[in-house]
Amino acid sequence: MSLAFMRLLQLASPALPVGAYTYSQGLEWAVEAGTVADEAAALCWIAELLDWNLGRFEAPLLSRMLAAWRIEDDAELARLDAEFVASRESAELRAETLQMGYSLRRLLDELGDFPARLREHLHALPQPSFPLAWSCAAAAWDAPAADALHAYLWAWSENQVMAALKAVPLGQSAGQRILAELGARIPAIAARALEMTEEDFSNYAPGFAIACCRHESQYTRLFRS
């Protein structure tokens, strides 16, 4: 087992101290609205976002970030980061990615084996998004792009399932069934993301955007987004 693979497990772990567990990305509002009320609906909601939002925009953008980190192209990294932050449809989503990016950058500063030159490049960007900081770590630890996308998509899926368990609520077995189905879909989604041209990127998911905006005024909340 390679060290790069072990580092990816670390990056994908729910124990990563970046605060991901405090966000639902609109799922909490979907539960409040009655759109997600059981296991089947939770799977449908998360799987659709995984395919149409993460898989067609965030994942291919992350692959471009990985490539830019490998050649230390600061201009390209700044462009990709700005594009991602601009894609966050609500104030909560924007705050989420900037907070998690800040927390991950601080963590990387505290790890003794993180390359100093990449740390300097990361700090040159005043407010890195979470995908930018995450891709920096993956590139620093020489993770293959395909493995990195698998890990990133799995971590997002696991966080969404954990949010569903709390908000719907669902049982642990239901959560594992959902994760099994999502995990079976990730390899094809990651493979497609690696092949996409930037002209084909799309984060068109109006239901997701509405849910995230509505969550900002939701009266009773467990999550920050």
Mean pLDDT (10-residue bins), the chain, 225 residues: 87 94 96 97 98 97 97 96 96 97 94 84 92 96 96 98 97 98 98 97 93 93 93
CA distances from 88 to 9, 111, 153, 198 (A): 26, 29, 18, 18
Q: What is the pLDDT of residue 1?
A: 62
Does the pTM surpass 0.85? The reply is: yes
Q: CATH homologous superfamily for 21-215?
A: Urease accessory protein UreF (1.10.4190.10)
Give me the residue label for tokens 């368990």. Answer: 165
Looking at residue 178, what is its pLDDT?
98
Distance CA(176)–CA(163), nearest Å, equals 13
The residue with tokens 């100093």 is 116
**74-86 helix and 91-110 helix, angle to the nearest 10 degrees:** 140
Q: Count of CB atoms within 10 A of residue 41's CB? A: 16
